[in-house]
Amino acid sequence: MPIHHIASCRLPTRFAEFELHGFQDPASGHEHLALTLGDIGDGLPVLCRVHSECMTGDALFSQRCDCGAQLAAALERIAARGRGVVLYLRQEGRGIGLMNKIRAYGLQDAGADTVEANARLGFAADLRDYAMCGPMLAHVRVASIELMTNNPRKLDALREAGVVVAGRIGLVHGVNPHNRRYLATKAAKLGHLFGPASGIGPEAEVLP
C-alpha cells in the first residue's frame, strides 16, 4: 500500500525531543503521524506503540477509556529507553469516526457496553486498518518492532499487513472507575489481556 511522506520536523515534548513525520494515505486522504526517537535504523527490534486517534481521550482527557494514559505511558517508555516509535493513526473510535463515537457513548450511557453500542449503530466491533503501518515503519527505517499493546488481535493484524512483530509488551495504564466496565468488555469480548494485577480479567497471562 503506497503512502506519501509529506514532511518531518523536531517535536520537543515533556518526555523527550522526538522527530515528527507526517504521512498521507492517497486512497483515503487520511493523514497519519510517526514520532521517532534515537537510532531506530540498526535492524534491531524497536519499541513501538501503534495508537489509533482518540480525540476524547488524547486531547480532552476523558476517563471513559485508557487511550490518553496509554499514549503518555508509551512515550515515557520510549524516552526512558532512548529509542522507539509511535505510529499515530487517524481512525477515531476504532474506525467509526468521532460523531459515531459520541453516539456510541450515548448508547453506553443508556446501558449498552462498547461492543453492543457499535453493533446498534451498524458497525463491527473494530474497523481499524493497519495497512499503512508497514510503509510508515519502512520510511523511518524500522525493520521489526516490540509492540506495546494489550490487544493480541492487533499483533495478528500487523503481521498480516507485513509488519515484523518480534514481541508484545503489555501497556496497562489509566484504569479508573469510569472505564472499568469498558476495559472488562474489551477483555471478555475482544480478547484484550490485562493480567491479574489489573483486576479486570481474563487473568490467564501475566504481562511483562
pTM of the complete model: 0.89
From the candidates 77, 90, 103, 128, which is the catalytic residue?
128
Task: Say if 103 falls within a structural domain.
Answer: no
Given a cut of 60, is residue 134 above it in pLDDT?
yes
pLDDT of residue 71: 96
To the question of whether residue 92 is assigned a binding role by annotation, the answer is yes
Quote the pLDDT of residue 185. Answer: 81
Known catalytic residue at 109: no
- Which of the residues 25, 58, 66, 126 is marked catalytic? 126
Look at residue 84 and tell me whether its pLDDT is greater than 70.
yes
Residue 154 marked ligand-binding: yes
Q: What is the pLDDT of residue 172?
A: 87
Answer yes or no: is 176 within a domain. yes
Number of domains observed in the structure of the chain: 1
The model's confidence at residue 201, banded by pLDDT at 50, 70 and 90, is: low
Averaged pLDDT for residues 185-207:
63
Give me the DSSP letters along 143-196: --EEEE-S-HHHHHHHHHTT--EEEEE-------TTTHHHHHHHHHHH-----G
Residue 79: phi, psi to the nearest 5? Answer: -60, -40
- Residue 81, in any domain of the structure: yes
Is 54 among the domain residues?
yes
Domain-located, residue 203: no
The answer on whether 50 is annotated among ligand-binding residues is yes
Q: What is the CA radius of gyration of the chain?
A: 17
For residues 11-21, give the mean pLDDT. 98
Per-residue pLDDT, 206: 31
Residue 175 is predicted with a pLDDT of 86
User: Residue 8's domain spans which residues?
Assistant: 4-91+128-198
Residue at 101 is within a domain: no
Q: In what order do the strands lie in the sheet with 165-169?
A: 4-12, 17-24, 31-37, 84-89, 46-52, 145-148, 165-169
> At 40, is the pLDDT very low, low, confident or very high (cuts 50, 70, 90)?
very high
Q: In which band, very low, low, confident or very high, does the pLDDT at 196 lie, cut at 50, 70 and 90?
A: low
Tell me if 36 is assigned to a ligand binding site. no
To the query of whether residue 66 is one of the catalytic residues in this protein, the response is: no
Domain of 194: which CATH number? 3.40.50.10990
**For residue 87, is it within any domain?**
yes
Q: Known binder of ligand: residue 53?
A: yes
Asked, for residue 123, whether it belongs to a domain, the answer is: no
pLDDT given at position 18: 98
Is 67 one of the annotated binding-site residues? yes
Residue 207 pLDDT > 70, yes or no? Answer: no
Checking if the pLDDT of 205 tops 60, the result is: no
pLDDT tens digits, 86-126 = 999 999 878 788 998 899 899 999 988 888 888 898 887 77
